Amino acid sequence: MALGALGGEAQAEPCDSELPEAGVPVRAPLAPASFGEQPAACGATTIALRTRMSVLIAMDDYYGQMHAGAGVTGSILLPGGSWLSAELPGFDYRFAANATVEDDHLGLSASTLGYHVPVPLGERLQLAPYGRVMFPTETVFENAVRYGVEHGISMVGNVTPWLELMGGYALPLRLTTGAHGHTQSLFMPTMSLDLGFRPFTWFEGVGGLSMRVAPGEDEAFEGLNPRVALRFYPWRSSFIDLSGTFPVLGRDRTNAAVGLTLGYRFGQD
């Protein structure tokens, strides 16, 4: 990928942006604890409160579903440039209605821990291979536990001082083990590409696409997901992120998934 030929101005490395969130793709809340969601390609020490909600309304089938939750996420920059990321267990609310039957559940969400390694490729491009584990802290299952492992690569590149390109792939494997020891697996490779436009020091708009597939399933194409984020920076070290994704095509019938993130980055002058 030759980003060096794009844009003629001299500029800093892709992770040296003046904004608190360099190299962060759209936060697309379609999976538990951000598992399978493309992580940041730049390391930082951050803490954030993240909320999310998804809605599925199938009028023809007289079926509807809502999923809402909130939790604390963060990352810690380590000596040498690598970093840890984590999402702690938070609250998780689910509501489903099928014709005249309704059911809801309030409990704890899943949690994750990841390790990321920066790989700079010139002055404008950086890759960040990572591995992540999902822990079985969810309480939505009465007689089962869900956990998982994931690896992938995130990417960030400076196209111009006010345009950044983000993307990569994720290979999450989720495992659900029942009371009798039987385990079901779901492998869902995901690819994404986002473009961030930052015309002001207090704002960035990000838009892009992601694609998910589930090899081995009867309907292997999970979905094509247009997505968008609006990010505001009230002061230099804080950020407000409004994100949304809207699956089209594929077997995922979710109408929309949206989220609000309020965060702070430490150690930025």
Catalogue all structural domains in the chain, each as residue range(s) with its CATH number.
Answer: 32-266 (2.40.128.130)
Is the pLDDT at 59 greater than 60? The verdict is yes
pTM, whole model, 2 decimals? 0.89
Burial (0-12, 13-18, 19+ Cβ within 10 Å), 255: middle
Report which of 52, 28, 51 is spatially closest to residue 39, judged by C-alpha positions.
28
Is the pLDDT at 129 greater than 80? The verdict is yes
Residue 2's pLDDT is 33
> DSSP secondary structure string, 189-241?
-EEEEEEEEEEETTEEEEEEEEEEE-TTSSS-EEEEEEEEEEEE-SSTTEEEE
**Of 12 and 200, the one with more pLDDT:** 200
**DSSP state, residue 78:** P
Report which of 258, 207, 259, 266 is spatially closest to residue 238, judged by C-alpha positions.
266
Is the pLDDT at 6 greater than 80? The verdict is no
Residue 10's pLDDT is 42
Q: Quick one: average pLDDT of 93-122? A: 91
pLDDT digits (tens, 9 = 90+) for 37-46: 999 999 999 9
**Of 3 and 161, the one with more pLDDT:** 161
Confidence label for 269 from pLDDT (cuts 50, 70 and 90): low
Confidence label for 78 from pLDDT (cuts 50, 70 and 90): very high
Confidence label for 251 from pLDDT (cuts 50, 70 and 90): confident
Residue 4's pLDDT is 34
The mean-pLDDT minimum among 8-12, 31-35, 111-115, 229-233 falls in: 8-12
pLDDT digits (tens, 9 = 90+) for 108-120: 999 999 999 999 9
Give Cβ neighbours of residue 195 (< 8 Å, ≥ 6 apart).
Answer: 159, 163, 164, 165, 166, 206, 207, 208
